[in-house]
Structure 1
């Protein structure tokens, strides 16, 4: 059964460890990670907290990088295509024998946060065995089997998935709205409070599972002076 896995791996066991060491505030997010040849991984990466010159200077001293190409410079974000050639054995195992699809990869100075789709738990076990054999640290943070339900792809319950999809289709998120919360609740046959909770919890789960992979949890902020007005 298809299985979604969230895991962390030390930066020293994947790639860019020396680049991270040279640029401690650097953040890297993968747009795409694919296998390119027997010993090469070719990622498409978003680079944050570094300028072109300082980033490329750090990369020049990093043995994991064979080639890099700047595709776009948006000021606060850079988009690069790279070739990784050393210390990518774990990624190659995931992409080949593990048959994993890397859905998200977010790297910082200390570690890479990965979100992957494996065809089955057996394929995940192969990655674990590879790590034990090669003395690599691979920490699984969460495992979720999809069970054929679309909601499982995004960390949602069935109720949250159905509520969000219905809300979108009926125009709840349009400006102005085509349907209000009470009307949406009537259509779904549940209470106003249940719909409100599903929308809030579902939106939070969706964002956490797709957009915030690797981002540190934020401390609770005091309420804004405008809240409750």
Structure 2
């Protein structure tokens, strides 16, 4: 799901610092008033980020946990603009699998116990005057393929390519030989692999990426 930055925590920091990006490592919800995330911050000036975070009214108790190669991991408390998060974590007992935010908004991947939890969350946001955009829905009954947005053919092809060493360095099998084993043309295999790789990247590494 996607949420506008102005209706979410850290909106002040996002509006004041150009090109800053936030990626949440883990959420902990203690009660109905605040959540305590671990947040990776990517920006060229860590001192300025710390200053802006301390001035952000949606944030309290900021602690720098780690600094690595131009990224900073902060532990903090979010105390404002978190109604949607509280509903998901506390009311629905859902899990935030991934969350990424920049000036364009927040992209969040959520695991609900059932589809009704998603419907109730959508209705809650609508009734509270909050904006939420549901970008895609995957059923766990579909297995890992559904979770990563893969078709059955893409899943089978990626597994076969991995098992036969296509992704090894150096490669143990060529695209042509792999296509012959699978009974499809070189061109069809290449396109299927690319589409499968794009789906896996989009649904794992790149949170909320557009097609």
Same-fold call, TM cutoff 0.5: yes
Alignment-derived partner of residue 174 in structure 1: 168
Alignment-derived partner of residue 116 in structure 2: 122
Structure 2 alignment gaps of length 5 or more:
none
1:173 is displaced (CA, Å) by: 0.7
CA RMSD after TM alignment:
2.0
| 8 Å contact kept, 2:32–2:90 | no
| 8 Å contact kept, 1:107–1:214 | no
Mapped pair 1:18 → 2:18: no
Higher percent of residues as strand: 1
Q: Report the Cα distance in structure 1 between the residues aligned to 2:49 and 2:77, rounded to whole angstroms.
A: 15
1:168 is displaced (CA, Å) by: 1.3
Alignment-derived partner of residue 78 in structure 2: 84
Structure with more contact order per residue of length (Cα contacts < 8 Å, sep ≥ 6): 1
Alignment-derived partner of residue 109 in structure 1: 103
| Count, aligned residues | 211
| 8 Å contact kept, 1:31–1:104 | yes
1:32 is displaced (CA, Å) by: 2.0
1:216 is displaced (CA, Å) by: 6.8
Higher percent of residues as helix: 2
| 8 Å contact kept, 1:26–1:108 | yes
In the superposition, the TM-score normalised over structure 1's length comes to 0.83
Deviations 1:81-135 (A, max 9, x none): 2211222121011123333322221111242111222222211011012112211
Q: Report the Cα distance in structure 1 between the residues aligned to 2:19 and 2:190, rounded to whole angstroms.
A: 38
In the superposition, the TM-score normalised over structure 2's length comes to 0.90
Q: Report the Cα distance in structure 2 between the residues aligned to 1:215 and 1:157, rounded to whole angstroms.
A: 18
